[in-house]
Amino acid sequence: MPKIVQCVPNFSEGRDQDKIARIVEPLKNKEGFKLISVEPDGDYNRTVVTLLGDPEKIIEALIPFVGKVEEEIDMNHQSGEHPRMGAVDVIPFIPIDGVTMDECVGYAERVGEKINQAFDIPIFLYAEAARQKRRVKLPTIRKGEFEGMKEKIKDEKWVPDFGKAEIHPTFGVIGVGARNPLIAFNIDLDTAENKVANNIAKAIRGSSGGFAYIQAGPAFLEKRGHMQVTMNILDYKKNPIYRIVETVKMEAARYQVKVTSCEVVGLIPKDTIVRSLKYYYACEGKKLGDLSIDEITEEAMKILLFRDFDKLKIIEANM
Amino acid sequence: MPKIVQCVPNFSEGRDQDKIARIVEPLKNKEGFKLISVEPDGDYNRTVVTLLGDPEKIIEALIPFVGKVEEEIDMNHQSGEHPRMGAVDVIPFIPIDGVTMDECVGYAERVGEKINQAFDIPIFLYAEAARQKRRVKLPTIRKGEFEGMKEKIKDEKWVPDFGKAEIHPTFGVIGVGARNPLIAFNIDLDTAENKVANNIAKAIRGSSGGFAYIQAGPAFLEKRGHMQVTMNILDYKKNPIYRIVETVKMEAARYQVKVTSCEVVGLIPKDTIVRSLKYYYACEGKKLGDLSIDEITEEAMKILLFRDFDKLKIIEANM
């Protein structure tokens, strides 16, 4: 079975389209993996790149990619709404198929060491790849950002995992890690009241006492004219979609508000959808058989109310 | 407004009824507070005492109570299923009415100091009263139990908050703390399958990714012949009863299992019930008016499906 990982490098340029095109050039049309998407955000001044495929080939291509970023971005003249500590800010590896989390930790370690050797950029290992507890959460590492990292890295608590205790003068540092797939998921409500969406978000998100692996908040969709509960599902096995959607329906009921549809941003693993379809089938005393990607797509739109969805949003449809 | 606290001392004797009677004597028929219940457990070899009323009067009575326990229990000859580090193992203060958590921390500190001065028993302050992060969770303090505490207390990390670094030779040490009301709550299922109750418990409990303030597991009720999900609700404001019950119903639906009734063990604050009644009223577009304790009791049995319930289980009915 071929090993498939997802790799989502984030770099600190989201405005200059020419520059972005030059930066992603080393990731285009390569053998062994696909460049699934390049998503720049002007306000954030940041671009999210999604790669899917053979980890060895991805590691190989990441070196010239980081080299290109080093040429193109000087962090001393960069600003945007998204916090960042490096010109490439993070490189997470995500196990998708035929790969364990431990292997992804190994990929993070290898590419981290290679990048450090090639460009003298200090590397912090984070999430599952973290070697110290305080480095598990990215925001803890990133605190102080590029500007603060010059001093922070000299603190013995913040000696980098690869490289010397001195930032690269124009690039900064990179967080390289391994983590489970994160699903960006939104639930649409037939209300324009922020308070309702906010109360519902509080009910489901871990930080307010809700489900441990849910980060959620309210968002108003100007063009569509309604609120949604926007969330990251950090562990879809422990916090499956159906449970979140049903809990949102339950909370919404007290306001006479209904869930009208759901939205997946970026990619979603097939298994996430299948697990939730199984729940609704089981509630009706039925068993879910083996479905094709097309059938799963259709059922997800019908039963899970996914809107603006197509099969290419399912990771496995790109493999 | 009179200040009302709940105080729940636990002591390490649950078998010898005469001894138990002598121990609780200093807490009986006192002015200013009520001895709500004395619940010995033979397997645990432990008794849970519930006091409700004026904190000053409770603090006063706790001194002769601890003195009685010192006379009656020698921890060198005590064993039972429940972990314990002292003859009186814990004394938590719980704010109920007209009292802040900070005041309860003050009561814990005062009674801790008084007990130490009177009997030379070392005191660890825990939960909200903890002065160190590692002392917040009782199990962390209690680890090693009475037998291990002789050495543990000499470690500089485990210097007691009151008293010298040496256990009382027959009594051990006491954890004195302040915490929010904890509700012991069980949800009955019309199934005898452990696996179903266990899966549902996993869906709702914080440690498996469920609601942050829920500890839950499966339990089979021999006499009644069905499973229940048995739980502690550690913060009923953040994890209200209706949300837990509705989530259990949702999870049970996939097994064609129904929630038949719910059970409160010990006391429950009125506000917990009122908050959950409000939810069900709101779902029907109705507002809950001011209800008497009798009406709240009736609604709780009807709408929240409480069985074996009466108004004396509501804290405020005892005030």
ipTM: 0.77
Contact (CB<8Å) B246/A250:
yes
- How far A203 CA lies from chain B's nearest CA (Å)? 8
Helix (H) / strand (E) element for B96: namely strand B88-97
Cα A18 from Cα B11, distance rounded (Å): 73
What residues of A are in contact with residue B209 (Cβ under 8 Å)?
Answer: 211-213, 235, 238-239
Is the CB of residue A286 less than 8 Å away from at least one CB of chain B?
no
Whether the per-residue pLDDT at B1 is higher than 80: the answer is no
B73's tokens: 């229990």
Nearest residue of chain A to residue B234 (CA atoms): A209
Interacting residues of A269 by C-beta distance below 8 A, sequence separation 6+: A96, A181, A183, A236, A314, A315, A316
Identify the three-state secondary structure at position B298: helix
Cα-flanking dihedrals φ and ψ of residue B238, to 5°? -85, -25
pLDDT at B184: 87
Question: Cβ of A208 and B238 within 8 Å?
Answer: yes
Name A223's Cβ contacts closer than 8 Å, sequence gap at least 6: none
Is the fold of B4-178 the same as that of B183-318? no
Domain spanning A4-178: which superfamily?
Answer: Formiminotransferase, N-terminal subdomain (3.30.990.10)
Q: What percent of chain A has pLDDT over 90?
A: 89
Catalytic sites of B, residue numbers: 82
Candidates A246, A276, A280, A286: best to mutate against B (most CBs of B within 10 A) is: A246
Q: How far is A221 from chain B (nearest CA, A)?
A: 25
More confidently predicted of A266 and B35:
B35
Q: What phi and psi values does residue B168 have, to the nearest 5 degrees?
A: -70, 130
Q: What is the pLDDT of residue B171?
A: 98
pLDDT digits (tens, 9 = 90+) for B85-110: 999 999 999 998 899 999 999 999 99
Of B136, B126, B35, the closest CA to residue B89 belongs to: B126
Q: Name every residue whose Cβ is closer than 8 Å to that of residue B261 and which is 6 or more positions away in sequence.
A: B188, B305, B306, B307
pLDDT higher at A219 or B10: B10
Q: Determine the residue of chain A that is closest to B200 in CA distance.
A: A243
Say which residues have a Cβ less than 8 Å from residue A35's Cβ, sequence separation at least 6.
A24, A27, A28, A29, A49, A50, A51
Query: DSSP states of chain A as a string?
Result: ---EEEE--EES--S-HHHHHHHHGGGTT-TTEEEEEEEEETTTTEEEEEEEE-HHHHHHHHHHHHHHHHHH--GGG---SS--SBSEEEEEEEEEES--HHHHHHHHHHHHHHHHHHH---EEEEETT-SSGGGSSHHHHHTTHHHHHHHHTTSGGG--SBS-SS-BTTTB-EEEEE----EEEEEEES---HHHHHHHHHHHBGGGTSBTTEEEEEEEETTTTEEEEEEEES-TTTS-HHHHHHHHHHHHHTTT--EEEEEEES-B-HHHHHHHHHHHHHHTT-------HHHHHHHHHHHS-B-S--GGGBGGGG-
pTM comes to 0.78
- Res A223: pLDDT: 82
Domain boundaries, chain A: 4-178, 183-318
Residues of B in contact with A239 (CB under 8 A): 209
Average of per-residue pLDDT across B40-57: 92
Q: N- to C-terminal Cα distance for chain A? A: 12
H or E element, residue B123: strand B123-127
Residues B54-75, mean pLDDT to the nearest whole number: 98
B235: nearest CB among A209, A212, A282: A209
**A221/A239: higher pLDDT:** A239
pLDDT (tens digit, 9 = 90+) per residue, B111-122?
A: 999 999 999 999
Flag whether pLDDT at B300 surpasses 90. yes
Mutate to test the interface with B, among A243, A279, A288 (most CBs of B within 10 A): A243
| CB within 8 Å: A209 and B212 | yes
Find chain B residues with C-beta within 8 A of A253's C-beta. Answer: 283
Question: What average pLDDT does range B267-287 have in this prediction?
Answer: 96
**Longest Cα separation, chain B:** 62
Q: What is the pLDDT of residue A281?
A: 98
* Interchain CB distance below 8 Å, B253 and A283: yes
CB nearest B285 (choices: A238, A243, A256) = A256
Would you call A168 a catalytic residue per the annotation?
no
What is the distance in angstroms between the CA of the first residue and the CA of the last residue of chain B? 12
Cα nearest neighbour of A282 on chain B: B254
Substitution target from B283, B286, B303 for chain A, most A beta carbons within 10 A? B283
**Could you tell me which CATH class the domain A183-318 is placed in?**
alpha beta
Mean pLDDT, range B20-34, rounded to an integer: 97
- Rounded CA gap, A53 and A5, in Å? 6
**Chain A residues within an 8 Å CB radius of B214:** none
> Would you call A212 and B210 a contact, using CB atoms and an 8 Å cutoff?
yes
Closest chain B C-alpha to A244 CA, distance in angstroms: 10
A32 has a pLDDT exceeding 90: yes
Please name the residue of chain A whose CA is at the shortest distance from the CA of residue B247. A247
Nearest 5°: phi and psi at A207?
-65, -15
Q: Among A152, A15, A118, which residue's Cα sits nearest to residue A72?
A: A15
CB contact under 8 A, B209 and A253: no
Q: Nearest C-alpha of chain A: how many angstroms from B165?
A: 31
Amino acid A319: pLDDT: 80
Q: Which of B173, B150, B169 is nearest to B160 (CA)?
A: B173
C-alpha distance from B209 to closest chain A C-alpha (Å): 5
- pLDDT tens-digit map of B71-82: 999 999 999 888
Q: Residue A80 pLDDT > 90, yes or no?
A: no
Of A203, A211, A279, the CB nearest to B210: A211
Q: DSSP E strands: which ranges in B150-269?
A: 174-178, 183-189, 214-221, 226-233, 259-265
What gap in Å lies between CA B234 and CA B213, rounded to an integer? 5
Handedness of CA A184, A188, A194, A198 (dihedral sign): negative
The answer to whether A288 faces chain B, any CB pair under 8 Å, is no
Residue with tokens 């009520």: B34
Inter-CA distances, A29 with A32, A58, A72, B277, Å: 9, 12, 21, 60
* A83-122: pLDDT as tens digits: 899 999 999 999 988 999 999 999 999 999 999 999 999 9
Neighbour order of strands in the sheet with B226-233: B214-221, B226-233, B183-189, B259-265
In chain A, which residue's Cα lies nearest the Cα of B205? A211
Out of B209, B251, B255, closest to residue A211 by CB: B209
Shortest Cα distance from B260 to chain A (angstroms)? 18
Beta bridge partners, A90, equal: A10, A175
Rounded CA separation B236/B259 (Å)? 20
Cβ-Cβ pairs closer than 8 A, A with B, add up to: 50
Using a CB–CB cutoff of 8 Å, tell me whether A195 touches chain B.
no
Mutate to test the interface with B, among A235, A275, A278, A283 (most CBs of B within 10 A): A283
- Assess whether pLDDT exceeds 80 at residue A1: no
What average pLDDT does the structure give for chain B?
Answer: 95
Residues of B in contact with A284 (CB under 8 A): none
Q: Please, which pLDDT band fits residue A194 given cuts at 50, 70 and 90?
A: very high
Mean pLDDT of B257-284: 95
Distance CA A165, CA B258 (A): 60
| CB < 8 Å to B236, chain A | none
